[in-house]
Amino acid sequence: MIVALIIACEVGFWVLLAAGLGLRYLAKKPALGAAVLLCEPLMELVLLVVTTLDLKNGAEPDWKHGLAALYIGYTVAYGHYTVTWLDGHAAYRLAGGPKPAGAGYGKARAVHEWKLWVRTVIAAAVALALLQMAIWYVGDAGDVSSLRAWQSSALRVAGIHGLIAVGYTIWPKKAPEGAEERPVPAKSG
């Protein structure tokens, strides 16, 4: 049931995103579109509650519970970013808004990759915290080895993503011929 709910949350995310952006830009109802987009975190809350209830009702902790924790962590860290990114592209394509800036080249691209890595670290931290709470909740009553394995996976993903950011720093992506390198945005104070 947990896997089906994770799939439903992912499908629901994209359905709500398409509906929210459609209402916002095609139906010209920005307030209603924003309201639909604000419903997205409710799905992750449902997933968290159902996963917790599953463990409370005596389910043996396994890979499904770990996957739910990683999914929630990813959504916390990347959900708003994804919505904002797609909103910018929808505004450009459907409403004549400005063209969204790309990730860039050189130093700008390296900065972008480090910012994404910070999001991955946040996702891993959320997943680690949820998994640790599940481990404490289950305690000695069950085998928590799969939850600990998911903790290791979350740390590995953050580490690998860090290596990717280091790679963009050491070997910056070069702009193609004729493309100009965009400057690194200044921090607003």
Query: pLDDT digit string (tens) for 39-79?
Result: 988 988 999 999 988 888 888 888 999 999 999 999 999 99
Mean pLDDT along residues 25-38: 93
Would you place residue 142 in the very low, low, confident or very high pLDDT band (cuts 50, 70, 90)? confident
H-only helix segments in 139-184: 145-170
72: left (phi over 0), alpha (psi -120 to 50) or beta: alpha
Q: Which of 75, 45, 62 is nearest to 1 (CA)?
A: 62
Whether 86 shows a pLDDT value over 60: the answer reads yes
Tokens read off for 128: 């680690």
Burial class (CB in 10 A: 0-12, 13-18, 19+), 145: exposed
> What is the predicted pLDDT for the residue at 189?
42
pLDDT in tens, 149-185: 999 999 999 999 999 999 999 999 888 887 665 665 5
Question: Model pTM?
Answer: 0.86
